[in-house]
Chains A and B, each alone.
Chain A
Amino acid sequence: MKPKRYDVAIVGSGFSGIVAANRLADHNLNVVLLDENIHIGGQILRTIPEQLGTHTVSESDKVRKTGFRFIDNIKEKKITAMNRTVVLAIYPERELLVEKDEKRVFTIRPEIILFATGARERFLPFKGWTLPGVISTGAVQVFMKSSGILFSKKILIGGSGLFLFAVAHDFVKNGGSVVAVLEQTSMIDKLALLTQLSHQFSKLTEGARYISKLLFSGVPIRHRTKIIEARGDQYLQEVLTAKVDQKGAVREGSERIYQTSALAIGYGFTPNIELPQLAGCELEYEEGKGGWVVKVTDDLETSVQNIYAAGEITGIAGALKSLNEGALVALSILKKLGKLDEREFLPQFQRLTTQRKHHLSFGNYFNALYKIPDEAISLIPDETVICRCEDVTMGDIKNALSNGFQTPGAIKRATRIGMGRCQGRICGPVLYDIVAAYTKKPGSKIPLLSVRPPVKPVSLGLLVPGHE
């Protein structure tokens, strides 16, 4: 079958993707927007679908409202928006192998590719995190925002990062009860200080607002408190926690048990770099950007010509940076395709680039703060499952390390870690941290696991020509 022709293919329809799609379509470019999810909009713009029902309480978040307007505009413009569409592979000359609705597979060959694949949650495994009843903070949000369903009436929330507070806030607002929020860094102290110092970071004050609202609603917030173990027979029954010092070591005698059948965990975010990696785009490791990210020029072009990247995959910093980079990358692509001259381009480019620097420095501060210390990694007990798909434990990985398997790839071959259905998306980032902690090397010196097509599992029958 002949590949379909588009000027620009955008992979991922979160903030960056939808902003870029709108701006490119305004200049009569033929744009296709691909997203794996049920609805266009990515994670932050999840909402109750019209078909399901309506909120009887209004939504006030300004950034989300901006996003919803972009989604509405997509429907009116010449943009081919494809939901439930998975990019399985990318081949030379920007040929994308795509699967839609788990029914058909086809190829697209655009002039330009924009990767705006966003981020996923990262985790710090503890004993029992595989027990049903332990869920990610992201999933709790998905249940509420997309389906109007609480994961449970009562929930304990723990991990690190501002997102914990956003989830707790929404959970209470929707009629649930939050037992406590456990934040393992000393982030709250620092946040309070920083809010006084830097007013330009609206996101920060937003975070502070969440926290103050939570305190007001009576939800206990415990900082420097870590989840040690989730326990239960078949299903979660109780959670053991303890106070930790700055390096993550448990302070003896500070243990506490929470009786709960629901625990939401989140430890910040990690960029979805698999497709750019497969495309041969150069990656870079920067703690301030949240680990491994796609390396881009000031124009947001990757090291591969005509492939661009925007949003969380160039550095974790939240929705405002993604909005900014969506506009910036569209501008760069328009210039590249001759739709803008230097005089139109430059003032906008300079303005957006200045804004982008502010977002990056915001992200830089938080990513450094949330970095899981090496000590916390080496404290993971041997019986803890690291790879959920293949049941590979911390002990298995330590064995492999002491037997001379010193890179993630070597450990993968020795233990099967990362060989399951998720293809290492959950355990991979943990494995990198473990290898860095045990080999005493900086994250930038830890070689990444290979990415090979198909990057997501696909039914073999769909790959057979003529199959419907």
Chain B
Amino acid sequence: MEDLRIGTIKRNERIIIFVNGKEIRAYKGEIVLAALHAAGYKILNRSKDMGEGRGPLCGMGVCYGCLVSINGIQNQRSCMVEVEEEMEITIDETQTV
């Protein structure tokens, strides 16, 4: 998979997060949504009536298109949370927005 992390930024602490149980690399201080995207998780849920796959739109807490479950709490806007060591994220692509 291509690396989307910008090369001119010197990163500090590499950490591990879990996405649907799978170990994923991330860096402390990254936004959950961006870290998920960099790891290839780009479809996060499904539209209500048509059942189409959906991803984020606004990236700043307005559209609610990036909802995931974080450490057991459902419907978190992943654009409004930073990754932490061993954070557990669940993406349910079948869940409606």
Contacts and interface: CB of A to CB of B under 8 A. Distances in A.
A141 B6 CA distance: 13
A235 B65 CA distance: 15
B2 A52 contact: no
Contacts of B73: 102
Contacts of A64: none
A133 interface: yes
B54 A388 contact: yes
Indicate the member of A43, A144, A385, A422 with the most B CB atoms within 10 Å.
A422
Contacts of B37: 143, 149, 151
Interface string B27-71: 111110011011000110001111011111111111111010000
A121 interface: yes
Nearest to A53: B11
Nearest to A39: B82
A148 interface: yes
A426 B62 contact: yes
Contacts of B58: 120-121, 136, 138-139, 426
Main secondary structure of the interface of A (DSSP, over half): loop
User: How big is chain B's contact interface, by range?
Assistant: 35 or more
Contact of A38 (B55, B75, B76, B82): B82
Contacts of B43: 132, 234-235
Contact of A57 (B8, B11, B49, B52): B8
A451 B29 CA distance: 34
Given A38-B31, A53-B12, A120-B60, A132 B4 contact: no
A421 B97 contact: yes
Nearest to B66: A139
Given A102-B73, A148-B5, A388-B97, A143 B59 contact: yes
Contacts of B22: none
Given A391-B49, A420-B64, A149 B38 contact: yes
Contacts of B17: none
A57 B60 CA distance: 25
User: How big is chain A's contact interface, by range?
Assistant: 35 or more
Main secondary structure of the interface of B (DSSP, over half): loop
Interface in A163-212: 174-175
B79 interface: yes
B8 A174 contact: yes
Contact of A102 (B4, B12, B28, B76): B76
A50 B82 CA distance: 13
Indicate the member of A143, A175, A426 with the most B CB atoms within 10 Å.
A143
Interface string A201-238: 00000000000000000000000000000000011000
Contact of A138 (B13, B59, B81): B59
Given A389-B97, A421-B64, A135 B57 contact: yes
Indicate the member of A48, A139, A421 with the most B CB atoms within 10 Å.
A139
B48 to A, nearest CB: 5
Nearest to A54: B10
A55 interface: yes
A306 interface: no
Contacts of B35: 147, 149
A158 to B, nearest CB: 15
Contacts of B81: 38
Given A142-B60, A147-B31, A148-B11, A390 B6 contact: no
A422 B60 contact: no
Nearest to A173: B8
Nearest to A141: B59
A135 B56 contact: yes
Contacts of A120: 58, 60, 62
A51 B28 contact: yes
A152 interface: yes
Nearest to B35: A147
B21 interface: no
A336 interface: no
A149 B8 CA distance: 11
A84 interface: yes
A43 B61 CA distance: 11
B47 A174 contact: no
Nearest to B50: A391
A402 interface: no
Given A51-B29, A153-B4, A425-B62, A132 B97 contact: no
B57 A139 contact: yes
A144 B67 CA distance: 20
Contacts of B50: 385, 391
- List 6 tightest A-B contacts by C-beta distance, closest first: A139-B59, A52-B29, A132-B55, A147-B34, A421-B64, A51-B29
16 contacts: A52-B29, A55-B10, A56-B8, A131-B52, A135-B57, A143-B59, A147-B34, A151-B37, A152-B4, A385-B47, A385-B50, A388-B97, A391-B47, A420-B97, A422-B62, A422-B64
